[in-house]
A and B are shown apart, each in its own frame.
Chain A
Amino acid sequence: MTMLSRVAERVYWMARYLERAENAARLVDAYHHMVMDIPRDSQPGWDILVRILAANPIFGEYFRVPNEQNVVKLLVAESGAACSIPYAVHAARENVRTTRDVLPDEVWELVNELHLYAREHSGNSVGRRNRQQFLQEIVSRSQVITGVLNSTLCRDHTYRFVKIGQLLERADMTTRIIDVGAADILDQEGAHQAIDHLLWGTLLKSLSALGAYRRMIGPLVEKNAAVDFVFLEPAFPRSLAFCLRGIREELSPLSNHTQALKMVDRARRKLRRFESEKYGRDELHVYIDDLQVVLSQVHAAISDTWFRFDTR
């Protein structure tokens, strides 16, 4: 089956934006939950969400004070802001709109419905009352779409680029959450021993990893084990190791894959050298920074090879 370069690029971005919407919604939801469990005076700021999504400059365009109301409004209701959930949903929809011919009919209908839902409800979901329902609806609708893609797409190039986009976005989000989240928790360590496990638990929850962690590692959430889990656990489908292996698998059947594979292998080698107990707050940050550079090189290699090549 042939696949146009432009179409490959758009399904790749559709998958990335869908994954982004889902991850961002889960992140805000997990944080929203955690805040209610923490005594008012120990509450970490809401700006952490902005930092995780690398949205500081955009935030500055919309608001001055990074309080709950403003941060949630930016991420949930400002459909024009590139870091917001409705923006990601709309971008996913635009990419599906232009690639309907290679995707199952249901995918278009579901993405369109998700877009209509987000457009209709994002405005009144900033306050705590409706917020959670909105976020969970975004998560579950995105999951349904991912499920339909999984169960209806032929295992051809379309599927491969969807999968690669999804896994790369997920890997990217995982590194961001660990980077900013761990730094914040480690900054506070000692000061709030009592709530430490709660913070790590929230971090896992925002990665949809808490249940799996408890089953595989145990009920007590502790820093090294938690970071190891989301970085290295081969059986957990949102771990970095899992995502990178998946990307590698999908790259293999594509022609001209040398450069992209080289970058993925570089990331995997780097990951194999990861040792959580050796890293303090700053070392962890430097390590993740490097890892993110390699991930962006994976994206660049994919883009140069299949999306924007000059034929002659």
Chain B
Amino acid sequence: MDQGWGDYKATGFYDELFTPKGRPRVAARQAVNMLGGLPDGELDARRTAAEVAIREMGISFTVYTEGGNIDRAWPFDIIPRIITEREWRNVSRGLAQRSRALNRFIDDIYNRQKILADGKVPADIVLESPNYKTACVGASPRFGVWAHICGSDLIRNADGRLYVLEDNLRVPSGVSYMLENREITKRVLPELFENYSILPVDDYPSQLYATLASLSPRERKRPCVVVLTPGIYNSAYFEHAFLAQGMGAELVEGADLLVDDEDCVYMRTVDGPIRVDVIYRRIDEEFMDPEAFREDSVLGVPGLMRAWRAGKVAIANAPGAGVADDKVVYAFVPEMIRYYLGEEPLLRSVPTYLCMYDKDRDYVLSHLDELVVKPANESGGYGIMVGPHSDEATRRRFAKLIEKNPRNYIAQPTLALSTAPTFIDDSVQPRHLDLRPFILQGRETYVTAGGLTRVAMVKGSLVVNSSQGGGSKDTWIVEGKS
């Protein structure tokens, strides 16, 4: 028995592992044959083994509910997603290019604002964005880099091509799950690795450390890097601890740090205060420093902005970097690449209608049943309307929201997200997915080999967020086959 592989039918969408004729793609053939050839019940046994490994490794994320916070085991599908190295090479270059342009943009916005003066990006959409922080004006972080860690979401459309859906420049998360997914696959499907040459992913923590260390304001052999977490109740706390451990860095909470009269940052240790050079912050900038932003923040460190502006400490990502991950600003990224780098964008963006423009808004309002409407400043898949899946009442509600605050909404065509075989109950079925690679930028640029593939586990659903029932897959970049 082949556990339903024989019946596997991609449902009219581009499938990552199968051709439209239902044959495995070249790079996927070995894996499909191996998994399909497993004796009856074996795939299920491997899935159970993966679940046990996840529980034992304590890989979890936190879901907020009205009844309190629940620690859930990480949802994982054991069938890997396979991408050829040849395709990935181009994607990787495109991501690095994008990250360079975004950083030039942020640095420009907080300093000379040339791109606004030249009229390439409308000044009001940037300067009136809640993500534009006046407290950051005039700052000049090292190498002109503000978004040192960027997580860009890619989706593959019906044409088989990858598109950038959005760039997360504030506190992107998910990279630890990318690393753990590989670890689990190695544990439960070791045979799969025999016939493949798969690019490793586990050097990420050392690349991250190198990136952060390059930002140190003091020239030291081993700068003091810390990971700043809001604490155990944050949904990504597992990842904060994971990365700190991977880098051999201290995992600190706001109360562990203090800023002295000379604007230097110290951490409280059993040997007394120790000077900190670089802070990898996993706390929203709003909560970072009660002196500069929200006064009511108990998570932050009073004086941290002062220390950063004085150049006594580096903060990654720099406060204010979020000005470029606004979904309205997104529409201008191809223009930024041409403007700052004099290059053509290597990666496609999704066509975007800006409701602030009369012409776009009219189009959006008359095509609500076809489009995906998103608020400009939400993350995690909240507040989104998927037109084709919406009812009349929801569309009316969104039409009102858009008319009331057009700046806050964008719309994009509903994309035919690609699918991949996913083991659901006791058969293999197609499920939609996306991909979040991570781009590091300091003195050097680094792009992960693949990234975190997120899967919508519900049939037909396009929502991949783990907070809303999404799962994930190991993502392979394989050499030698195309």
- A residues at B contact (CB < 8 Å): 2-8, 94, 97-98, 100-101, 108-109, 112-113, 116, 157, 161, 254-256, 306, 309, 311-312
Contact = CB atoms under 8 A, between A and B. Distances in A.
Interface string B258-279: 1010000011111111100000
A101 B256 CA distance: 15
B271 A6 contact: no
B213 interface: no
B241 A109 contact: no
Nearest to A254: B270
Interface string B366-394: 00000000000000000000000000000
B434 interface: no
A2 B251 CA distance: 12
B56 interface: yes
A255 B271 contact: yes
Task: Give 5 closest A-B pairs by Cβ, nearest first.
Answer: A101-B245, A101-B244, A306-B270, A100-B241, A5-B268
A255 B258 contact: no
Contacts of B424: none
Given A3-B271, A311-B272, 4 more contacts: A5-B268, A6-B256, A98-B231, A108-B58
B112 interface: no
B164 interface: no
7 contacts: A4-B268, A5-B256, A101-B244, A108-B58, A112-B58, A254-B270, A312-B273
A143 B121 CA distance: 64
Given A4-B250, A100-B241, A101-B250, A312 B258 contact: yes
A224 B173 CA distance: 62
Nearest to B55: A116
Candidate in B231, B242, B245, B249 with the most chain A CB atoms within 10 angstroms? B245
B269 A2 contact: yes
B58 A3 contact: no
Contacts of B258: 311-312
A2 B268 contact: no
B387 to A, nearest CB: 42
B269 A5 contact: yes
B269 A4 contact: yes
Contact of B56 (A6, A98, A112): A112
B53 to A, nearest CB: 10
Interface in B42-63: 55-58
B252 interface: yes
B473 to A, nearest CB: 23
Given A108-B58, A312-B258, A101 B241 contact: yes
Interface residues of B, number: 28
Contacts of A2: 250, 267, 269, 271, 274
Contact of B273 (A3, A8, A108, A311): A311
A112 B56 CA distance: 7
Contacts of B55: 112, 116
Contacts of A309: 268
Contacts of B245: 100-101
B232 interface: yes
A113 B268 CA distance: 32
Contacts of A255: 270-272
A157 B232 contact: no
Contacts of A157: 270-271
Interface in B219-270: 231-232, 241-242, 244-245, 249-253, 255-256, 258, 260, 266-270
Contact of B267 (A4, A97, A109, A312): A4
Interface string B329-370: 000000000000000000000000000000000000000000
Nearest to A93: B58
A131 B354 CA distance: 66
B57 A109 contact: yes
Nearest to B226: A4
B251 A101 contact: yes
A98 B269 contact: no
A311 B255 contact: no
A4 B256 contact: yes
B189 to A, nearest CB: 21
Nearest to B57: A109
Given A100-B241, A255-B270, A255-B271, A113 B56 contact: yes
Contacts of A109: 56-58
Contacts of A101: 241, 244-245, 249-251
A6 B253 contact: yes
B233 to A, nearest CB: 10
A254 B271 CA distance: 8
A5 B273 contact: no
Contacts of B242: 100
A98 B232 contact: yes
Contact of B270 (A3, A108, A113, A312): A3
Given A100-B245, A254-B270, A306-B270, A4 B58 contact: no
